[in-house]
Amino acid sequence: MPLTVLPGQETRINGDMVERLKKNELVPLNNSKYVFVEFPSNHVPHYTSQLFFDMQVAGYKPVIVHPERNSMIIQDPDKLYRLVKNGALTQVTAASIVGMFGKKIQKFSLDLLEHNLTHFIASDAHNTNTRGFHMDKAYNQIKQIFGSGMVLDFMENTERLVNGQSVVGDQPVRIKQKKLFGLIKK
């Protein structure tokens, strides 16, 4: 099977990212403008909006990886909405879509797709035993729920990403939290 390996890395968010990008200490995907950024699992740092603005001014495009597994974003999806509205992109993990991280994360992943808050589906595979690929299952589920057009959009965006071209997508939509007896239900 022919295989092409492209340079790139997923970097934990930190305040020095722009400087490190300028010094070539961080590697955008395929030496493009796209930079994979990982948040801590339980919060979004307070400096994120400013950092993402600074990255974009410097010519880079932040891609937030697996936002569906960040507990603060799950509790307050408006945090992600604002970042995407201001130009960040996101990448949801295939295993999340098919329920490998639990029903809550699966439901939130599907909410992100429905509300135009993600641009790519990725395997985030770590190995073939405990963190496998699940791409076919994820695309099949997306096709069943949202139609084949959405699957094609994700595939085309991935190709654009790899080639350093502009990614397309519909305007993001806020996820409305449901109210139960006048209280916000999370």
Alpha-carbon distance values, 51 to 25, 79, 148, 165, 174 (Å): 17, 14, 35, 22, 22
Q: What pLDDT digit, counting tens, does each position of 14-23 carry?
A: 999 999 999 9
Q: Is the pTM of this model over 0.75?
A: yes
Domains and CATH numbers, the chain: 10-184 (3.20.20.140)
pLDDT in the model for residue 88: 97
Q: What pLDDT digit, counting tens, does each position of 55-108 carry?
A: 999 999 999 999 999 999 999 999 999 999 999 999 999 999 999 999 999 999
Both tokens of 163, joined, read 């080639």
Pairing, β 183-184 against β 179-180:
antiparallel
pLDDT in the model for residue 182: 56
* Residue 181, number of CB atoms within 10 A of its CB: 5
> Taking CA 141 as the corner, what is the angle to CA 139 and CA 144, rounded to the nearest 5 degrees?
110
Of 42, 45, 43, which Cα lies nearest the Cα of 17?
45
Measure the CA–CA gap between 172 and 113, rounded to whole angstroms: 10
